[in-house]
Structure formats: C-alpha cells, structure tokens
Structure 1
Amino acid sequence: MGKELHADLVIIGGGTGGTAAALAAAKMGRTVIMTEETSWIGGQLTSQAVPPDEHPWIEKFGCTSSYRRFRDGVRQYYRDCFPLTAEARANVYLNPGNGWVSRLCHEPRTALAVLQQMLAPYIHSGRLTVLTRHRAEAVRTNGDDVLSVTVRSLDGQERLELAAPYFLDATECGDVLPLAGAEYVTGAESQRQTGEPHALEGAPQPMDMQAFTYCFAVDYLEGEDHTIARPEQYSFWRNYKADFWPGRLLSWTGVKPATLEPIEYDLFPGKDWMSLFGYRRIADKRNFAPGTYRSDITLVNWPQNDYWLGSVIDVSEEERARHFKCAKQLSLSLLYWMQTEAPRPDGKQGYPGLRLRSDAVGTADGLAMYPYIRESRRIQAEFTVLEQHVSTECRGTEEAEAFVDSVGIGCYRIDLHPSTGLRSYIDISSLPFQIPLGSLIPVRVNNLLPACKNIGVTHITNGCYRLHPVEWNIGEAAGYLVGYCLQHRVQPREVRNRQEHLASFQRLLVREGIELAWPETHPV
C-alpha cells in the first residue's frame, strides 16, 4: 500500500468542474485534495485547449459569480501583462483572440494562470492540495459508501490512498464510477427508454458516443515553411470518407450541423467572414502593440479533426491507447494536409506557413495534453434531464422545465457531434435551462458525486449540459453541496428530499453568487 492522505473532500479530476468544486469547498473552510491526470488543471479551458463555448447573454447574466471572476481575470491578465493597443485596453469586453465562437477567446496558458491565481490562497494556506499527473486506479468501498480512492502518479513512482467523507468524480470520462461500482450509463439511449424524439428508434447503443478531438494551436507566417513530418497514418486519413459525410474528411467540405446541408469552408476570411482560422482564434495581433505577435494564433477544433472511429470509454487500455493515437494522427494529418495539399483561392496548394504552436498547449508533440471529450459516463441519478425538459421543439413554450431543486443555470443548443455509431450531427434549439440537484445525486452511492458532464443527463441532453459555464456551475454546486452536508451532518439526497435543507442550501448558493433561474430570454 502507498501513503494515505486524508481530507474533507477528495476530487478526482482537476478539469473545469473539478477546479470550480475545489474553490467552492475550500471557500467553505473544508480541506480538499484534488488530483489531475495532466500537468495542467482546468480541463476544457487549458489542457484540452477549447476556448469557452458560451451563450449570448454571458456578459450580463447566466453564470456563477466565480465563473465571471475567472472571465474578468482573463481580461485583467492581458491588461496587466501585455502591451495592448489603446483601443483594446479601453474595451471593457476585450476578446483577446476575437474568435467568433465566443465573446472571450484566449490562450490556454492564460486560463491556467488565472485558475492558479484563484486557487492560490487555499493552496498556500494548506487547505487545498493539488496533485497533477495522478490517475485513479482503485476505489475501496463499504456497501453504499466510498472509503478511499487510490491514485498513482503517471511516472509510477508514487501511489497514494486518498480517504475522505466525500468524493467527487470530475474526470473527463467518469473514470471513478466503474471503479466504485456506481451505477452509470453510456452512449445513446433508445426512444423506448427516454421518450426523446431524437433518441435512437431501435435498441440503445451504449458504445455510440460523440466524437472526441485532439485540438492544436497554429499561427500563419506567409512565405515561411513549417511543414511537419508526414504523419504515419496520413494515407489513411487523406482518403477517409464517412458514408454520412458529403466528402473526404480532409477537405474544405463539411455540413451545417442544424440542417446537414453541405457547406464549403474558408480557411482565411474570404466570401464568408466566419473563416475557420477566425473561428477559435485565441490571439488577434491587432489587439496588441506591433511586434508582440508575428501572427494571429488559432485553435483547431474543427469538424475535420473530430475522431469517431471508436470509443475510449469501457474498452481495454490497449484499445483506448489505440484510439487516442489514431485521433492524434488525424489532427496531425489535418495539419499536414493543410500545409501541403489544401486547395487555395489563388489556385495553389497548401499553406506551408501554418506553424504548429506546441508552446501554446504545453506539449512536445504540439497537440493538447488531453483530448476534448464531449461525452462521459453518466450517473444513474435520482433525476435525469431529458430532451422533453429543455428542447424548444418539445416544450413549445418560452421556458424550459422549471426544477424546484435548481442549483444553477445554463444555455446552449443541443449540439451533438458525429458519433462512434457513424451518425452525423444532432443540432437542435434548446431553451435556457436549470441544473436540477437530482441530476447530481446517484441512485445508490451516498458520498460519491459527479462534478462535470457525468451528471444525470442523456446522450441527447449531454449536448447542451457539457459546455464550459455549465460544467463550472455543476462542479461549484457539488463543492458547496459537500460543504453543506459536512456542516449540517446530512447526506446529499437528504438535502434534495427534505424541503428545509433544500431551501437552506439554495439560499447558500444564491449568497455565493449562483443564479438559480433565468430572466426572460429566448431560444438559442
């Protein structure tokens, strides 16, 4: 056995939700141990290199106060550390990258610096311990309770048994759930199970999950040659075409997610201002003093590097590693194709000036530390959010289902990327929604809670509950829930099912800046 450490709360997974949970629990005076598989905390915001996907009202309302503090911190970081132009510095709503996917596109390293600053008081005081490059390998239980989680460092040199009254699974794939024997579901449910109009018509497919993506950063230096070595699997990916896709994956042809109509992309602004390069641009050199950046920088998280040829959940370690390798090869092949063969408006082929920015993502191979996992294992919860609760088509009203046990809010289209079942996008309108506490409560296990996209949602509703502000809110609510339970000596399901505790807990959330309901808004 390895060394044993104790805390009030152990969080396995230091992603967006895990970090928010650690902040909340530490703020309530609780000791916390948080582990993270990569070298960077922050998940989607950092190690997965995905600029925030947010709703159109984010600057005014619709997120927690701590998430807003993070966003404000990102802008302040650029004001404090960078030579901005006078116009950029005066812009209250500064968007460092001016990417059109979000009102705040920024570099992963910036998000990391801001998150570390937010955690610093609790780390320095000893209340919070962060263990990076550690992965869960075993869970010890007693009946319906988790007693400890054993983690091992990725270099194999350290093995720790982490014990606590409460545990949060904030891993990207819900990795603690099977280790703990907790009830969970994966993949696509059937209409017979959920009644959802967009669920599968036949039998459920537990291994049919959304594509995942290895993101990477590039800039562009016209006249220079930064062509990478030809990837090992380039021949395969250069010729690959899915039956449901209108052309080869490595091409400028894609589909409009909502209609599945074919569309032609532009790499740089041309006839369509919404170019791929501008989509998730994280540094717009026009915001900075001349010479600060040689080029704009963008993050490549595009349809062309979505990997859907296999799941990395509930498969052998060998198969998981194979799919991770193939997904990396796809992303590198996309870059190589763009550098060498991609058609250009001027009639030439290839953009050799595209330069892989490994420094921007903190890795040797230039790809993000961890893939962007869109779909996790999901707990079997006391309450599961269905399409009927949130979709505009199902509701036929201006409001999503109101949940009396709301612990937060979110808004995003029901956006499912192509899946391992070789099915194309599902992209439908949703209404601004609430996060019900019941979706955070497992049907049986008492002291293990989800803290990210592994809550009680379906394959369909995962599509709108998986984005950055929602995951942050889920994690933050879970952190406060643990603090409340320890303070009042009750279990999480008692908080939901006893009115006096539910009301008291919701008052706590409101005091801490968590919005529980939406003002009047419109479908997205």
Structure 2
Amino acid sequence: MKELKADILVVGGGLGGVAAALGALRAGRTVVMSEEFDWIGGQLTSQAVPPDEHSWVEQFGVTRSYRKLRDGIRQYYRDHYPLNEGSRAWHDLNPGAGWVSRLCAEPRVGLAVLEAMLLPYRGSGKLTVLQPYLPIAASVDGDVVRSVTLRHRDNAEELTVTARYIIDATELGDVLPLTGTEYVTGFESQNDTGEPSAASEAQPDNVQAISVCFAIDHIDGDQTIDKPENYDFWRQYQPHFWGGPLLGFKAPHPRTLEITERSFTPNPDDDPLLVDADQRKGGGDENLWTFRRIAARQNFLPGSYQSDICLVNWPMIDYLEGSVIDVPEAEKARHLKAAADLSYSVFYWLQTEAPRAEGGNGFRGLRLRGDVTGTSHGLAMAPYIRESRRIKPVTRIVEQDLSFAVRGEKGAVNYRDSIGVGMYRIDLHPSTGGDNYIDVPSCPFEIPLGALLPQRMKNILPAGKNIGTTHITNGCYRLHPVEWNVGEVAGMLAAHCLNHSLTPHQVQENDDHLSDFQSQLSREGIEMRWPDIQAY
C-alpha cells in the first residue's frame, strides 16, 4: 500500500478543508488534502450553492482570506467575462443578481479561484491534493490518531497518510467514527441542552434534509426530459405540514411557517443593479427564478447569454425520507439516489405541470445545465449537506448563547477563547423526523476555540459542520463564511501547535498561550469580535 507523510492531513476539500490547508501552509507546514469529488470547494462548487452570508459581509465579519476568495470571484468575471459597462463598474458585482446573496456566481468560477489560491503551494511541493479519495480507516493509539487510510473512489486504490495532525473537513464528519472520536448526531434533548427550540427527547436519526441542487436556463424549443422513473411517487408526496404537494409552489414560509405561494418567472427583464440581496429585508424567495440566480444575462453584453441561469435549491427538493449518517452503505446509496430522483422529478414537473402566471402549465424550454455544475447527469456533483456528525467538544455552543429572544440587546455571549465571528439566523430546514422549519432570530456571534476541541482526542480537529454546535445552533454555524473561518483556524491551530510544541487543549486552557494564538489570528486577518451592530 502506498504511504504518504505530512505534518497535517486535511480529509475533505470543501470550503473548510481548503481554508484549513491554506491556514497550515501559510505557517510553513506540509499538508496532504483529500477530496472525494472531482471539484474542491464543497458547498460553493460541487454542491453548487451560492454563499449564504450576513448583511455586513462587504464591510466586516469575515476573514481576510475569505474576502480574498470573494474578491477573486468578482475579479475573475472582470478579467474573463463579457460584462457590460455598468456591471463591470459595479464595485460589489453580483454576477447572478440573485436575491439570496450579494455574490451569486457560477460554481466553476469559485472553483477556479480556489484552485488558484492553492497553486503556489502545489508547485512548491508543500501541498499534495488527492482526488477523488474517501477515508475508510484510521490507525489510533489511545487518544492520538497516527494515520488515515484513503480509498480512490473509482479504482479502489488505497493509500495511507501519516500525519501529526488530522483535520476532519468532510461534509458528514466521516473521520470521527473511524478514529473513535466521540460525537453526536441529530436532535439533542431539551433536558440535555436547555435550548428553547430543542426536542423533548434526543432524536439522533432526525437530521436536516439533504438536497441535490441543479442549474437550469430557459430557451426556445421543447427541452422536456423523459418522465423520471419515480415521478408518480414524488408527484403525490405531501409532508403533513407542507400545505400541499411537495411538487408545487406552495410551501411553509421558513420564518413564519405560514403557507406561502411563490412565483416562477424565467428571464424577467429586471435590472441586476437594483437587486438588494439583504436577508434582513426578507428571504428574497418570492420569485424562485431570481432567488438563487447565478448568471443574470443583463449583466453581460447583449447576446452573450441566451438565458439567465438559475440554481435550484428550493424547498421542494429537500429530501425527507431518511438520513445518510450512520446508516449502512446500501441504505445511504439508496437515499442519495432517491434525493436525485426527487430533483429530476421537480425539474420534470417544472417542464410539464408547473402553473404559469399567464395561464397554462409547464415551461418546456427549461434545460438542465450539467455543464455548469460539471456533470453529465445534469445535477450538482455532490448533494448539499446541511448537517453533520458533531464532536463532543470542550465548549458546546447552545441556543441560549446567541438567540435574540434570550440575549436581547446584550448580544451573543463573548467567549474568552473566540477565534472568529459569524452571523445568520438559526435556519433549520425540515428534517427526516418530520419536523417543519425552525427559525430563530440570532445575534451576531463568536466562534469559541473550545468548540473545535474534542473532549478526549488530542490531534484531530473539525473543520466544518462537525464542530461542537447542537442540532439547533448548527442552523447558523453551517454557512459558507463560518465554515471557512472554522477551517482556517483549525489549520492555523495545528500548525501553531507544531511550531510551538503545544497541544490544542493547552492553547485553549492557558491564558498566555491563548493570547499568543489570538494575536497570530489577528495578524492573519481573523476577526474575533463584532463591532456594535444590531441583530436580525
């Protein structure tokens, strides 16, 4: 079996994994990073989800390197795309003019910028990227992980990577069970966490829905696909709280739970420069076409785009029939296939049955844009994962730490060991246990270092949705900029401990060690406190 060695192994090349690698590499350490899909970037690229960000993202509240990623995406459009004069001069360019985010863009652009950020380290030999590889086993000595074995996704080739620190940046926390790291899944009980929104009893198999996203456009002609095999099943499928069939424009409003009917109007002649993607003013999902639009044809020179490109990550593609965490591989594969079948069925319904505002049914000019998402099958390369296994941490983040209803004008808890900031409402999608949306207004919050530290294991760190949140607080710590911040700090922490002969727990426990590390974070552009702003 082939063997590799590095200072730090990052398992998973999503946003948290890339940020972890960069954080460690900047500190002079060697890194091996693995990724199971053909694209690095996770949520932003292979899962094709435009970034969910807070309202002050253009001014503050993200790390310097995350801002470099955002700036790089905009500059890539200016350098390579036929933007019209107004859009080229737009400082805060939103290429898709989507309402969900101030930076809606095509996944391949995010991929190109992320690859460019890593290229100098690949060239120097400091970084080795293994694709497509999945973790399958680990060698553990007591509370220390010695190595992780990876298997090639396609040809089953195996190799072992020995490293002094292991960073789990997988989407589902896949390294945790392999290493015996204690973790939780699903709902904790209210008796355990004291959270107002928690369940009365623990429900470890009850997790947020996964979604298989896809990109579409609309052109002249009939582009109708063959009727999906399981279309009839999904056509009659109706969650008890939905207010109608899942395949429909009616669904619960995430914040009020009132049944709301959304519209769908391909290629409206709206002005991209007038789009105000401020989530404080509403979800922006009234018109599903513009909600997560990733290419607005009006941003480009006439004739450059036949159509807008719209990213479908809508309520109706949330898959509620089962969890893909801690289930047999055959069951996991079945659920992933069924989630894809649901997405194909939604697309076919849009083409053939969806009501049109002007009368009639179906938008037969809709096309799947698998070329945009990098696949031959037409859907996103990877499922959108909202919830992971979560470590049992030194510091567990609970709803009471940041809920506006609890904290009020005091704001979220100030953690002594803050290593970053984030902001989003507690936004939980419907779950596999039959729960509706859970939406809780939150205060701008901090990320405690203790939430990155397993209670027992010494050299494994989480770098994504597997940090020490609860099911409830995962709802606001799971978004793009927070995942990046967590990953970046995990990589920097591993390198800092190697450079100073410390353990992560020593850094967190000792005031002097913690102050030194926080000073390093500050020098590297990590914001650890919020200015005086209001919640939303």
Task: Determine the structure 2 residue equivalent to 1:239.
Answer: 236
For 1:273 and 1:397, the matched residues in 2 are separated by 29
Task: Determine the structure 1 residue equivalent to 2:525.
Answer: 513
Note closer, same or farther for the CA distance 1:273–1:521 as it changes in structure 2 (3 Å cut).
same
Task: Determine the structure 1 residue equivalent to 2:208.
Answer: 210
Alignment of 1:379-418 (within 5 A): 379-418=391-430
Q: 174-183 or 272-281: which moved more? A: 272-281
Alignment of 1:192-341 (within 5 A): 192-201=191-200, 203-221=201-219, 223-268=220-265, 274-341=286-353
For 1:232 and 1:171, the matched residues in 2 are separated by 31
Shift of 1:157: 4.4
Shift of 1:307: 0.5
Alignment of 1:346-495 (within 5 A): 346-495=358-507
The alignment status of 1:81 with 2:93, answered yes or no, reads no
Task: Determine the structure 1 residue equivalent to 2:280.
Answer: none
Asked whether the 8 Å contact 1:398–1:523 carries over to 2, the reply is no
Task: Determine the structure 2 residue equivalent to 1:190.
Answer: 189
For 2:519 and 2:498, the matched residues in 1 are separated by 17
Q: Which amino acid aligns with 2:155?
A: G
* Secondary structure, aligned partner of 1:397: helix
Asked whether the 8 Å contact 1:398–1:522 carries over to 2, the reply is no
Q: Which amino acid aligns with 1:347?
A: G
Shift of 1:226: 1.0
Runs of 4+ in 1 over 6 A off after TM superposition: 269-273
How many residues are paired up?
Answer: 521
Shift of 1:64: 0.2
Asked whether the 8 Å contact 2:417–2:450 carries over to 1, the reply is yes
Q: Which amino acid aligns with 1:252?
A: F
For 1:405 and 1:175, the matched residues in 2 are separated by 27
Shift of 1:398: 4.1
For 2:360 and 2:253, the matched residues in 1 are separated by 27
* Secondary structure, aligned partner of 1:427: strand
For 2:151 and 2:489, the matched residues in 1 are separated by 28
CA-to-partner distance for each residue in 1:463-513, whole Å, 9 max, x for gaps?
000000000000000010011000001110000001111000000000000
CA-to-partner distance for each residue in 1:299-354, whole Å, 9 max, x for gaps?
10000000011000000000000000000000000000000011111221100111
Which ranges of structure 1 fall in alignment gaps of 5 or more residues? none
Shift of 1:232: 1.0
TM-score w.r.t. structure 2 length? Answer: 0.96
Asked whether the 8 Å contact 1:185–1:380 carries over to 2, the reply is yes
For 1:398 and 1:334, the matched residues in 2 are separated by 44
* Secondary structure, aligned partner of 1:251: coil
* Secondary structure, aligned partner of 2:409: coil
Task: Determine the structure 2 residue equivalent to 1:94.
Answer: 93
* Secondary structure, aligned partner of 1:165: strand
For 1:265 and 1:132, the matched residues in 2 are separated by 40
Q: Which amino acid aligns with 1:145?
A: V
Shift of 1:228: 1.2
Shift of 1:397: 2.3
* Secondary structure, aligned partner of 1:226: coil
CA-to-partner distance for each residue in 1:365-411, whole Å, 9 max, x for gaps?
11111101000000000000000001101112241000010000000
Q: Which amino acid aligns with 1:26?
A: L
Task: Determine the structure 2 residue equivalent to 1:104.
Answer: 103
Task: Determine the structure 2 residue equivalent to 1:121.
Answer: 120
For 1:88 and 1:258, the matched residues in 2 are separated by 33
Q: Which amino acid aligns with 1:43?
A: G
The alignment status of 1:51 with 2:53, answered yes or no, reads no
Q: Which amino acid aligns with 1:471?
A: E
**Alpha carbon RMSD of aligned pairs, Å?**
1.1
The alignment status of 1:25 with 2:24, answered yes or no, reads yes
Task: Determine the structure 2 residue equivalent to 1:174.
Answer: 173
Shift of 1:83: 1.2
Shift of 1:80: 0.3
* Secondary structure, aligned partner of 1:472: helix
For 1:420 and 1:39, the matched residues in 2 are separated by 28
For 1:521 and 1:303, the matched residues in 2 are separated by 31
Task: Determine the structure 1 residue equivalent to 2:145.
Answer: 146
For 1:26 and 1:225, the matched residues in 2 are separated by 50
Q: 35-44 or 364-373: which moved more? A: 364-373
For 1:424 and 1:361, the matched residues in 2 are separated by 29
Asked whether the 8 Å contact 1:100–1:274 carries over to 2, the reply is no
Which ranges of structure 2 fall in alignment gaps of 5 or more residues? 271-283
For 1:320 and 1:20, the matched residues in 2 are separated by 28
Asked whether the 8 Å contact 2:210–2:385 carries over to 1, the reply is yes
* Secondary structure, aligned partner of 2:146: strand
Asked whether the 8 Å contact 1:305–1:334 carries over to 2, the reply is yes
